[in-house]
Amino acid sequence: MNVLICASEGAPFIKTGGLADVIGALPKALKKEGIDVRVIMPYYKKIKDKKLAKYIGYAYVRIADHNEYLGVFEAVSDDVTYYFIDSEKYFNRDTIYGQGDDGERFAFFDFAVLEAIKVTNFYPDIIHNNDWQTGLIPYILKANYNYYPEYRRIKTIYSIHNIQYQGIFPKDLLNILFMPYSNSLEYDNCVNFMKAAIMESDIINTVSPTYKDEVLTDYYGYRMNNVLEFRKFDFYGIINGLDVDKYNPATDKNIYKNYDINSFVEGKAYNKDKLCDEYNIKDKNAPLFGLVSRLVDQKGVDLFMPILEDVLYYSNANFFILGSGDKKYEDYFNYLATKYPGRFIVYIGYSDPLAQKIYAASDIFLMPSKFEPCGLGQMIAMRYGTLPLVRETGGLKDTVKPYNAYTNEGTGFSFANYNAHNFKDVMFLAMKTYENKDVWHALIHRAMALDFSWNASAKSYIELYNKLI
């Protein structure tokens, strides 16, 4: 079976979020299952500057009143072939998103993917598209390539990683692309890339079973729920996996000391001790809460503001915050860091090595998300023996089993209602549980024993592929 995965970013070449982690890990897992899988993405300046890919050919697509050149480059990483679409006009920029012409840029990419197939001579059985940036591909495939037998047999699957970002642009974009009006493309008198993908793909999926159910509701669906309802019998939820080679406390070079499920008591204590020394955290025996996140509403950061000072006043807990985002949250956390030196540590920005140190050293990892399609932080935390405290939404609900004080079951802590006081109550429950080291270590052992590798998820994707062909 031949599968071409299309995405706007992918590790190890370029990353801005969780999508890149999926594109970096899923193909490797599919390859191990015998799938001939290849990946195609834009040849951004930041990738081109690394000079890892070789030129293999070119083609043209029609944009506005002219034919627009596209180069095709190729590289291999972890035994997976990656193709890159080169365009000086659209991709030779310092940033990859947030441009005024993103609609035109990624529409060009979607046309270019189908033309690049001729250059690579890799004719897939399935094109697996991801997020809005690849949303026009199923529509273009049916509208422009149905006359070619080698294209007519291609099936499409579309993965929604975050339904909030849909690729909505003025309707005038259709004139630039020489695309006829279609009900599949139009929503609220605009072009909606995600709607096009949902309407025209053979199968749609999202990145956790719970999120799949959530986005069919008005609250979580961001007005796409009615469109998804129309296709609900072709709609599936598959939990993302984790790159267990990258996120492995036994081999991670970024942490202070390596450890595994058999040595986590000493290993985590050593990592916590060293992180506390490095950042002047005074009470090393107190529970340490970690947060590695974008500081935005979606991540539940607003829940901190009414309760954090209460938690700091009525407990001996320490906090380590790593992230950036809305200024009001950055300012609030910086204020707490100034007011509570030695207890509240803030790093505004992002650092991979520091993130890994926080995962290894923390006792409790906070993810009180308003919504979370899948989430990787909670899985990384459990892999490192740090118990997650999450809100029961999306992939967080699917992956974290809440602690039950009566049966001693669970792999973390959770709360259901999006409410700051419920969040605070569970924080105190976690701190109380932390005091009983036998129970705490049993929870850690259970969390570290979980298998979050891509093996099971890859098999689920193969089942979807088999449905199509």
Cα angle 344-350-356, degrees, rounded to a multiple of 5: 75
User: 3-state SS string over 341-362?
Assistant: CCCEEEEECCCHHHHHHHHHHC
What is residue 1's three-state secondary structure? coil
Residue 66 is predicted with a pLDDT of 85
What are 315's two structure tokens?
């407990």
Given a contact cutoff of 8 angstroms between Cβ atoms, the answer to whether 81 and 137 are in contact is: no
Pairing of strands 80-86, 66-77: antiparallel
Q: Is the peptide bond before 12 cis (omega within 30 degrees of 0)?
A: yes
Q: Which position has the token pair 């970024």?
A: 254
d(CA 119, CA 100): 30
Cα dihedral 365, 330, 17, 391 sign: positive
Q: What pLDDT is recorded for position 464?
A: 96
Q: Give the tokens for residue 173.
A: 């974009």
Quote the pLDDT of residue 450. Answer: 96
- Look at residue 109 in the predicted model and tell me its pLDDT: 97
The pairing of beta strand 288-292 with beta strand 203-206: unpaired
Collapse the DSSP code of 290 into the 3-class scheme (helix H, G, I; strand E, B; otherwise coil) and give the result. Answer: strand
Instruction: Answer yes or no: are the C-beta atoms of 222 and 216 closer than 8 Å.
Output: no
Provide the pLDDT for residue 175: 82
Q: Which residue segments constitute the domains of the chain, with CATH numbers given?
A: 2-241+454-468 (3.40.50.2000), 264-448 (3.40.50.2000)
Residue 269: per-residue pLDDT? 98
Report residue 365 as tokens: 């990892």
Q: Crossing angle, helix 137-144 and helix 193-200, to 10 degrees? A: 60
- 467: amino acid identity, one letter: K
Strands (E), 267-371: 288-292, 318-323, 344-348, 364-367
The first and second tokens of residue 247, run together, are 């996120």
Taking the chain (469 residues) in runs of 10, the rounded mean pLDDT of each run is 98 90 94 97 96 96 89 96 97 92 96 97 98 97 92 97 96 82 89 97 98 97 96 97 93 98 98 98 96 95 97 98 96 97 96 96 98 96 98 98 93 97 98 97 97 94 95
